[in-house]
Amino acid sequence: MTTTKSPALPLPLPAAKALVLAGGLATAASTFIHWTWTSEFPGDLTVDGYPGGLQILTLAAGLLIALFSLPLYGVKGTRWLTPAGPEAPVLVLGAAAAATTWFTLIAIATELGGLANLEPGGWIAGVASLLPLIGALGLPQTRTTVGLPSSGGVLAITRHYLGAFTRLVGPNPDLAPAKPLNRWVETLIIIAVAGLGLTVFTYGIVTEYGELFIGFLILTAIGTWALMRAGLVSRLTALTARHRGTTTAAAFAAAAAFPFTQSDDHFASVGVNILIFATVALGLNVVVGLAGLLDLGYVAFLGVGAYAAALVSGSTSSPVGLHLPFWGAALVGMAAALVFGVVIGAPTLRLRGDYLAIVTLGFGEIFRIAVNSLDGVSGPKVTNGPNGIRNIPDLDILGFDFGQAHTFGSFTLGRFANYFLLMLLVTAFVVTVFSRANDSRIGRAWVAIREDETAAQAMGINGFKLKLLAFALGAALAGLAGTVMAHVSYSVVPDPYQFAGAVPPNSAFLVAAVVLGGMGTIAGPLLGATLLYLIPEKLVFLKEYQLLVFGIALVLLMRLRPEGLIANRRAQLEFHDKDTDDAAPAETDDAPASTDPGSTAGLTTAGA
């Protein structure tokens, strides 16, 4: 495999630069002209003067191209955006603009019955979106020539080319650290990034139809790839590592602002369910990501917490008849889940690998069958069987009724917005517990057990005791999330607590969220859970093909980025040990060695 730097198209350099900048501006301008003649296509693309629906995505892509083309002209201050050079990001952004625009045009032709339904504005947009891509191909790019492997069949050849493609599409190699900016400037950058994250998250949730969400995914995925190729992600990672407190505060402030951006309580309900799913995934990350224990029945601990809290929260259908305040119900839910974690873990954690996974899968099914049977007929009347525990009252904390709308100035927070803010506090608590455990001697011991349990025990680590502690802590965190979930949904029934299903949370989706996001990290499971909840929620129109498309996307992602979307340095090196020079910069590269759960220093300390 040989690497050279040359343009793919024989264009003069000034012409290539002009095509990129002019094409980006033309792509953005085309969104102010109507693309079709009928409003039957979702989003109403028939209006001149302002973009609507999928046109907004094309507008964003065009403006990004124009912004990232400025370093090509040496505009002062813009070079900070492309520390690895501006050629690669404008090429990827050109592909993003073309993909998003042509997806829209094809969708219009498909749903309305032919290309005749495209107005001149649509054709202008299609042509304009190709100009930045053509111009970028005329810029000097790092090009790699890959030869055939010396031996092997079709599978070996396929693996060879996929590996080469993985190296090419990955981020640029580690860059020299940038000169630190003024502290206030860096703080403003962190706040701006948090605001941008809130905007992207909000837009993804409020997409009202499947075509818009697919376009959003296309632009977001390829746009993120462009930022990685530019080296901007590595630069922002280093910046946030220097200001961890500011970054954490900005992230939670942006999350807390989400309910104030919503006028429809439905989208706030999506947000609170995402937080519940993400918090449970973060609890599972203690078990899977840190201790390396594959738990396929983890959703049962969420159910234990939900049922325990429902029984003591004043429900009219509860056989217990208690009505504890929220803090009491939360403690009961956490304690019940913790006890179940210890009871199940004590006899099973001496197993390893697939055997442990099978046992935990069995526990999950036993829990679901047991709560179905405790109906007063097949067994004692505790859970009311398939009918579950219903009519769980809304929380009332210090006179604040979470079931009522509350007005703050010009903002009105509905029921789900109230629970969103409460769940955000729970998420903050779980993040704090996870990070503290991760940075402790116990966390380093968990990582040592995950990497090689035999070697860890030879260094004096009590593997069984620490694995049981991980199991209990993960179960308690899931029980806490289940407490809030019971009040949000008004009822607790057995059906959601199963291994697999079309809608999360279930054990399969929880494990996928941890692996997809990045095991052993904090942001990884949060991002993975957000994606895995939103995708089934927004792709309902695919009906029976939903899981097929979802599965294909996961397979491709795991092949191209097996370490997860946000991975620590050790995971990067393990999955890319043959091409270390091309490995993606990890999200924790710039963190101190003691805080990296996968660092060699952490493993050595745990062994000591």
Residue 583's pLDDT band (boundaries 50, 70, 90)?
Answer: very low
Question: Is 575 in contact with 586 (CB distance < 8 Å)?
Answer: no
Question: Is 489 in contact with 278 (CB distance < 8 Å)?
Answer: no
Confidence (pLDDT) at 464: 85
C-alpha to C-alpha distance for 123 and 117, rounded to whole angstroms: 11
Going from the C-alpha of 584 to that of each of 113, 158, 194, 568, 571, the distances in angstroms are: 43, 22, 23, 10, 10
Average pLDDT over residues 502-507: 72
Distant-in-sequence, close-in-space partners of 516: CB < 8 Å, separation ≥ 6: 528, 531, 532, 554, 557, 558, 564, 565
Neighbour count for residue 87 (Cβ, 10 Å): 22
What six digits make up the tokens of 482? Answer: 């289940």
567-578 pLDDT, tens digit per residue, is 776 666 666 555
Distant-in-sequence, close-in-space partners of 57: CB < 8 Å, separation ≥ 6: 100, 104, 212, 215, 216, 218, 219
With tokens 């294909």, the residue in question is 552
Confidence (pLDDT) at 587: 43
Distance of CA 65 to the CA centre of its chain: 25
416-419 LR contacts (CB < 8 Å, sep 24+): 416/265, 416/266, 416/268, 416/269, 416/271, 416/272, 416/488, 417/259, 417/262, 417/265, 417/268, 419/272, 419/395, 419/484, 419/487, 419/488
Is pLDDT at 274 greater than 60 in this prediction? yes
Q: Class of the 272-550 domain?
A: mainly alpha
What residues pair up with 36 in beta bridges, in sequence order? 118
What residues pair up with 4 in beta bridges, in sequence order? 143
Confidence (pLDDT) at 99: 94
Percent of the chain with pLDDT over 90: 25
Confidence (pLDDT) at 463: 81
Q: Which residues of the chain form CATH 1.10.3470? A: 272-550
143-187 pLDDT, tens digit per residue, is 555 455 555 555 555 555 555 444 444 545 445 556 777 888 889
42-71 pLDDT, tens digit per residue, is 888 998 888 988 999 999 999 999 999 999
8-42 pLDDT, tens digit per residue, is 778 888 999 999 999 999 999 999 999 998 888 88
